Amino acid sequence: MRTYSPKAGEVTRTWHVIDASDVVLGRLATHAADLLRGKHKTTYAPHMDQGDFVIIINADKVALTGQKREQKKAYHHSGYPGGMKSTTYTELLANDSRKAVEKAVKGMIPHNKIGKQQLTKLKVYGGPDHPHAAQAPQPFVITQIAQ
């Protein structure tokens, strides 16, 4: 049997909407990254962008386990010496919760040209409304583990 290699013209993209209400941030990010990369498809190939579009709504209501909300920090650097800045996730979620979700998903995507291309298909919104109703997105349900 020969190995199948997908062609660029054969890629079909669908839209998925994920409700982030009371979903753990890391679990949300792994599911979103898998959909963006196309790992849920039988024709997955790591050298091609076959991923789907992902809409994440209610990013304001995302959950963090344990003491991460107070203790975990998000870092960024200005590019200048001594330009390292850090903010706690309490501040990050209060100021712009979309950045926290985007940062978590970005960390689970390859850091190369294909990864940048895949990240353009991620749309994150803080509330329940999004402007992509015309694309008829399919709801994607993340199952929670009983605690």
Determine the Cα–Cα distance for residues 53 and 35; give it in Å rounded to an integer. 8
Domain ranges within the chain, ordered by starting residue: 14-140
The fourth-level CATH superfamily of domain 14-140 is Ribosomal protein L13 (3.90.1180.10)
Q: Could you list the pLDDT tens digit for every one of the 147 residues in the chain?
A: 788 888 888 899 999 999 999 999 999 999 999 999 999 999 999 999 999 999 999 999 999 999 999 999 999 999 999 999 999 999 999 999 999 999 999 999 999 999 999 999 999 999 999 999 999 999 999 876 655
Determine the Cα–Cα distance for residues 12 and 23; give it in Å rounded to an integer. 28
Q: How far does CA 75 lie from the centroid of its chain?
A: 18
Determine the Cα–Cα distance for residues 63 and 147; give it in Å rounded to an integer. 14
The residue type at 73: K
The residue type at 116: K
**What is the pTM for the complete model shown?**
0.90
The residue type at 137: P
